[in-house]
Structure 1
Amino acid sequence: MESRRVTLKDIAKSLGVSVNTVSRALTGKDSVGEDTRARIKAEAERLGYVPNSMARSLVLGSAMTLGLVITNPSNPFYARLISTIEQRGRVHGYSLMLLVTEESPDGDRAAAETLLRWGVDGALVVPVQGDGEHWDRLNESGVPLVCLNRDFPALDLDFIGVDYEHGAYEATRHLVDGGARTLCLLEEDLPISPVADRTTGFRRALTEAGIEAGTDPVRSVPTRRRESLALPWEPEDAYRLAQDIVRGGDLPDAIMVGNDYFALGVYRALTEAGLRVPEDVLVGGFGDHPFAAYLNPPLTTVRLPAADIGTTAVDLLLQRMKGRDDHDATEKRRLPTELVVRDSSRTGKSTMT
């Protein structure tokens, strides 16, 4: 026998009250007594009542849905971001529509079209950097947008991200203060603002320390993206690049990496060459991924404020959804990182942070 969806009418009939009373009780209206509200909620739960979101949307004139567009769900940073945004949105009664672009410009444009077609109330977007006019058009159509993690300075869009530049600067200064006078940075090969910001912070720290590099200390890692841009980082690419550095005979005092996955490859290349971390080479990472504290030695790295970014971004988006005055300034906020110092950048007794 096919089951039938429980309706407000079923609850009303079971309790001998009006459908209007049931509706007001379940939507939190003040005109229903607490005892009656408790009875109605208990009966709704007993009968297995599930609110009809589409019907509620028609009544409220809202889809009660937030869009979230990201590039790479396998990235631990984005996984935490998704979880935080979903939880924060749910507190305010919103569902989440998740779209993944896999770093594809076509996927980015398709995501903007999908959000417009489905009529989401607002969207949080990690853009594929390049031509972002489709996001500007979506915003102008009346869908409020907040960019996450990657800024589009040319577009008048709110932005909540990470202070990557200061994070890289602080980590590099830490390595310099630990005695490093020759350093190199292994960075992703994507033309995105986080990579540019980390590189700027790294170079600024060297300049302020009076360190002049004969050759460019920034090396681009071909990275993980052999089959799909949304695959996890592959340590193999950083491993091979670190092998080249070791074989070159001009070993730096310290190696910084743009993400902790690259550190896995660096560790292996150094170990195979009979070199020790940190005695022979200091190593610093970025991201504080779950495995960082369990490497041998534990990895000094930069912790990212993923949860704070998610919460801050949802709150700003909800504020914009309530109505933005034309005179309101676009917000551009970069939240601070935290340098987590572990044994890969210091000698002495092992510490697990």
Structure 2
Amino acid sequence: MDTPDTPHVNKERIDTMEHLSAAIGVSRPTLSRYFQDPDNVSRTSRERIRKGLERVEYVPNFFATRMNRKSTGMIGVIIPYLNDLFFSRLLEAIERAAMDVGYTVITQCSHSDPAIEARAAETLMSMNVEGALVAPLGNHSDLDVHERLRSRLPFVMVDSRPDTMPEVDFVGTNHYHSTGLATEYLARVGGPPVFLAMPRVNFNAMERERAYIAKMEQLGLEPRIVGVEGVSGAGYFEAHGQAVLEREFSSGRLVASSILCVNDRVAIGALRAAATHGLEAGAMQRGGLRIAGHDDYPLCPYTVPSLTTVAQNVDAIGRTAVARLVESIRAEKSSGKQILKLFDGEMKIRESA
């Protein structure tokens, strides 16, 4: 509420650069240079524009000021899911790293749909982004889309990588290390772990499955995998994990096993299945059931029991992916050398195993 000491001031609202130019007495080209970078104009003009902007209500058109530059200062990001907290964390890391080097992030989501993923890529190209970071859907992605992006823009893949594009710059997790850590830990504290997989359409899921098999063979143990085929009527991730273990527990199988889930969201479904069968996973519980995941999903410390998992170094992945993309954007010519950066995981031992 206004008081007698602080009278309300109605500022003139201005919507165009032309009207702003007339209102504060500075040429439009000078204003344009100012909004691109205040240091591009003289100190006298800067001060005049600053004082003029205090008298009016004006917000520069973001895209208009960017499109007039040789460099738009924008990078595009495509993620597969909006309802996945892992990708929320990854996007936060990317945005913070981009802001630190003066870039703005434009995000598109493919919503698990190859057609939407293709449209997202076309949208980014139409907006003249200077480079793109893409977390692909899986082997049902339209790889032609990725090839078009790569032919037009500096391009880095993050999180997962198609086997068909091994030469593309990639930043992600060393799944052989991270999955190996969890496999070895479960084998040490319980029985030989069973791997709760996913239908083979997800690159990371397939790589983690292969990593599990390799580590089991190294330990001299027999790999056992469940959940490769989808259960009729079950959805993705949590619903899949619950449905697979509902089936197993109902038949009296795996009730005293160590179970390594392909990711934390599947593991959360697995914990739900255990609870509905009166089972509780954990080293301190009777019966021998242990459940672990992968990713260190933000909810893992708050499940019941809290979920043992392997943390991905999400901050480092985001920073490194942005650094590589900006390096490619600013390079006068490509070195032609592919960058492959994989970060090790870290065990997070909690109650469930």
State how far apart, in whole Å, the 1-side matches of 2:334 and 2:237 are.
Answer: 45
1:257 maps to amino acid: C
State how far apart, in whole Å, the 2-side matches of 1:57 and 1:66 are.
Answer: 12
- CA distance 1:204–1:32, change in 2 (3 Å): same
- Backbone CA RMSD of aligned residues: 3.2
Q: Does 2:252 correspond to 1:244?
A: no
Write out per-residue CA displacement over residues 184-216 of structure 1, whole angstroms, 9 at most, x where no aligned residue. Answer: 111222423211221122112211221124xx4
1:84 maps to amino acid: A
Match of 1:206 in 2: 216
8 Å CA contact 1:65–1:122 kept in 2: the answer is yes
- CA distance 1:138–1:21, change in 2 (3 Å): closer
- CA distance 1:119–1:129, change in 2 (3 Å): same
Counterpart pick for 1:173 among 184, 203, 218: 184
Match of 1:186 in 2: 196
8 Å CA contact 2:291–2:352 kept in 1: the answer is yes
Count the aligned residue pairs: 334
Unpaired runs of 5+ in structure 1?
228-232, 346-353
**Farther off after superposition, 22-31 or 302-311:** 22-31
Match of 2:94 in 1: 85
1:100 maps to amino acid: C
- CA distance 1:222–1:153, change in 2 (3 Å): closer
State how far apart, in whole Å, the 2-side matches of 1:245 and 1:71 are.
Answer: 30
Match of 1:230 in 2: none
Match of 1:349 in 2: none
Instruction: Give secondary structure in 1 for the equivalent of 2:294.
Output: coil
Match of 2:262 in 1: 258
Q: How does 1:1-353 map to 2 (within 5 A)?
A: 3-5=13-15, 7=17, 10=20, 14=24, 27-29=37-39, 32-33=42-43, 37=46, 40-41=49-50, 44=53, 47-130=56-139, 131-141=142-152, 143-155=153-165, 156-181=167-192, 183-213=193-223, 216-220=224-228, 222=230, 233=236, 235-251=238-254, 252-278=256-282, 279=285, 280-323=288-331, 325-345=333-353
8 Å CA contact 1:165–1:199 kept in 2: the answer is no
- CA distance 1:97–1:23, change in 2 (3 Å): closer
2:191 maps to amino acid: A
1:169 maps to amino acid: G
State how far apart, in whole Å, the 1-side matches of 2:22 and 2:96 are.
Answer: 31
Instruction: Give secondary structure in 2 for the equivalent of 1:199.
Output: helix
Percent identity over the alignment? Answer: 26
Write out per-residue CA displacement over residues 69-110 of structure 1, whole angstroms, 9 at most, x where no aligned residue. Answer: 111111111112222323333344433332222222222322
State how far apart, in whole Å, the 1-side matches of 2:145 and 2:218 are.
Answer: 40
Instruction: Give secondary structure in 1 for the equivalent of 2:228.
Output: strand
State how far apart, in whole Å, the 2-side matches of 1:328 and 1:195 are.
Answer: 30
- CA distance 1:5–1:67, change in 2 (3 Å): same
State how far apart, in whole Å, the 2-side matches of 1:272 and 1:22 are.
Answer: 65
Q: Aligned-pair distance for 1:267?
A: 2.2
| TM-score, normalisation: structure 1 | 0.81
1:162 maps to amino acid: T
Unpaired runs of 5+ in structure 2?
1-9
- CA distance 1:38–1:310, change in 2 (3 Å): farther
Q: Aligned-pair distance for 1:22?
A: 6.1
Q: Aligned-pair distance for 1:332?
A: 1.4
Q: Aligned-pair distance for 1:268?
A: 3.1
| TM-score, normalisation: structure 2 | 0.81
